[in-house]
Amino acid sequence: MARALLAGRWTDLDERLPVLNKYSGQVIDAVPLFTERHVDLALGSAEGAARVMEKLPAYKRAEIVERAAHMVQANASAFEGILVAEAGIPVKHAKVEVGRAIVTLNFSAEEAKRLSGETIPFDAQARGSDRYGYFMRKPVGIIVAITAFNGPLLLVCRKIGPAIAAGNASILKPASTTPLSAIKFAEAILDAGLPPEGLQVLTGRGANLGRKLVSDPRVRVVSLTGGAEAGADIARHAGVKRLIMELGSICPTIVMDDAQQELALNCLPEAAFGLAGQNCIRPQRLLVHERIYPEFVEDFVQRTSKLVVGDPSSERTDVGPLISEREAVRVETWVREAEEVGAKILTGGQRDGPIYYPTILADCPADTEVVQQEIFGPVVVVEKFSSLDDAIAKSNSTAYGLQAGIFTQNIDVAYRAVNELHFGGVLINDTSDFNNDLMPFGGNKQSGIGREGVRWAVQEMSDPRSVIYRIPRPDRELA
């Protein structure tokens, strides 16, 4: 049975939380069920660890993270198997996630060696003419990282890699449904030479651990990937500390009448339904110009109906289960409620246990949940529009703003989209479903606070420290 990492020791408890295979429903392992008492132990240990971590030189931090990347690569098949079982991720997508995790760690190792400041021209102001200085960046101390189930390895690496690069101690709270990949990663980073208390992994339910973790004043940064409700709760209780929160979205993709339709159609099924739609930047709303709407949507429906749905351990599978049958039932309910008020199901609309088949809806009223709330399931709403103004207004009409995509061959249209879509990222001739760890990734409005991406996360997880030297001048009296 899996153990978790507390105060530098692999720890077991009598009370455990089962981890299920998301396709079969069978128990595959169990992890310790930590409580608030263990949070106090973790925070006390992290205080000492933060002092150790800040003394590690940059090259040592880089070596540790780089060695961890090599270990993940050497054990790639084991990590892939865990992702398939605990998260229901189809094996071909699990391979991609492991590969991206390795790249993220390597970027983090490089960024540890680039954490620098710059000189400050104090003499640009009269009162600074006898001063010289610069700023440098220093670790903040203790990071709390809270990760979601839909990228259980990649999200951990996105948070812990930069935290180590910046010289911090971290407490990781992985999703209670997918803790095994986080534990295996912790094994790798410790074997790579991380000081024993530099990372702690607390498994259990967020309701029991989260609030106490995020509200403690010793924690200087909370990095969350999760839902908007969880983000709002953390913001209410965190106190004075830095928050990095990626909270999901309702991402639109616009297809103009001059678009390269084949390019768009080749991208859309995978973007919309990969990971069973449990992806914060997937195109949930597809806005198609009225001139091409009928034939474009018909082709999209045909391609979607050919996706292979089922066992995620099969190399052929495109769409696996949702994280639980309860979530599949919720998605089914939202679709049924939309249908009751006039929406049409063009394909899909069936559930088989935790599987919900890729579904395309048309004619959805604007106030339905499938239009206004992140469905986090394999459902796409198609809408027609008459003008770019109309498409931009529809896209901006929700409370979210993570990413948006637009297909067009008109540079003026692309320019307007970049400037008028209120999103953290705007993709031209692509769907909303792309990011990498060289870019500042995050959203506007209810989609989050701050930015991830390795360089940007390292900046968020470090503080500038100004250093000012007063240089007495021979023509002045020493003060």
Query: Pairing mode, if any, of strands 142-146 and 221-225?
Result: parallel
**Of the candidates 279, 295, 308, the residue with the CA atom closest to the CA atom of residue 433:** 279
Q: What is the CA radius of gyration of the chain?
A: 24
| CATH code at position 101 | 3.40.605.10
The answer to whether residues 1 and 179 touch, using CB atoms and an 8 Å cutoff, is no
Do 227 and 94 belong to one domain? yes
> What are residue 150's phi and psi, to 5 degrees?
-85, -5
Is 231 in a helix, a strand, or coil? helix
Do 217 and 312 belong to one domain? no
- Each residue's pLDDT tens digit, 56-103: 999 999 999 999 999 999 999 999 999 999 999 999 999 999 999 999
Q: Residue 97 corresponds to which tokens in the numbers above? A: 């996630």
**Would residue 479 count as lying in a domain?**
no
Query: Pairing mode, if any, of strands 131-139 and 199-201?
Result: unpaired
Do 218 and 352 belong to one domain? no
CB neighbours of residue 390 within 10 Å: 16
pLDDT at 478 over 60: no
pLDDT of residue 26: 98
pLDDT of residue 157: 98
Catalytic residue among 80, 111, 197, 246: 246
Tell me which amino acid residue 21 is: N
**Of the candidates 131, 134, 109, the residue with the CA atom closest to the CA atom of residue 120:** 134
- Each residue's pLDDT tens digit, 412-438: 999 999 999 999 999 999 999 999 888
Ramachandran category for residue 232: left, alpha or beta (phi over 0 → left; psi -120 to 50 → alpha): alpha
**Would residue 176 count as lying in a domain?**
yes
pLDDT of residue 474: 67
Domain encompassing residue 323: 251-428
Q: Residue 424 corresponds to which tokens in the numbers above? A: 């953290």
For 232-252, what is the mean pLDDT? 95
Mean residue pLDDT across the chain: 96
Catalytic residue among 97, 280, 364, 383: 280
| CATH code at position 394 | 3.40.309.10
In 56-200, which ranges are continuous DSSP H helix? Answer: 58-74, 76-87, 91-112, 154-165, 180-191
**Would residue 298 count as lying in a domain?**
yes
Is 1 in a helix, a strand, or coil? coil
pLDDT at 254 over 60: yes
Q: Is 157 a catalytic residue?
A: no
pLDDT at 479 over 60: no
Cα separation, 108 vs 154, in Å, equals 13
Do 219 and 325 belong to one domain? no
The answer to whether residues 251 and 432 touch, using CB atoms and an 8 Å cutoff, is yes
**Would residue 434 count as lying in a domain?**
no
What domain count does the chain have?
Answer: 2
Q: Which residue has the tokens 């803790």?
A: 179
pLDDT of residue 477: 52
Residues 332-349 as b/e (b if ≥16 CB within 10 A, e otherwise) read bebbeebbeeebebbbbb
**Would residue 183 count as lying in a domain?**
yes
**Where does the pLDDT of residue 369 fall: very low under 50, low under 70, confident under 90, or very high at 90 and above?**
very high
Do 117 and 264 belong to one domain? no
pTM of the shown model: 0.95
Do 309 and 193 belong to one domain? no
**Would residue 198 count as lying in a domain?**
yes
Do 241 and 275 belong to one domain? no
CB neighbours of residue 77 within 10 Å: 11
DSSP 309: B
**Would residue 379 count as lying in a domain?**
yes
pLDDT at 10 over 70: yes
Do 297 and 210 belong to one domain? no
Do 228 and 281 belong to one domain? no
Do 240 and 336 belong to one domain? no
Do 230 and 255 belong to one domain? no
DSSP 239: -
> How are strands ordered across the β-sheet holding 283-289?
344-347, 359-362, 379-385, 283-289, 251-255, 403-407, 425-428
**Where does the pLDDT of residue 208 fall: very low under 50, low under 70, confident under 90, or very high at 90 and above?**
confident
Give the torsion sign (CA, 431, 434, 440, 442): positive
CB neighbours of residue 283 within 10 Å: 27
Do 119 and 90 belong to one domain? yes
Q: Is 246 a catalytic residue?
A: yes
Q: Which residues, listed in sequence order, are joined to residue 462 by a DSSP beta bridge?
A: 139
Cα separation, 437 vs 79, in Å, equals 20
**Where does the pLDDT of residue 123 fall: very low under 50, low under 70, confident under 90, or very high at 90 and above?**
very high
pLDDT of residue 1: 76
- Each residue's pLDDT tens digit, 283-320: 999 999 999 999 999 999 999 999 999 999 999 999 99
pLDDT of residue 473: 73
**Would residue 472 count as lying in a domain?**
no
How much of the chain, in percent, has pLDDT values that exceed 70?
A: 99
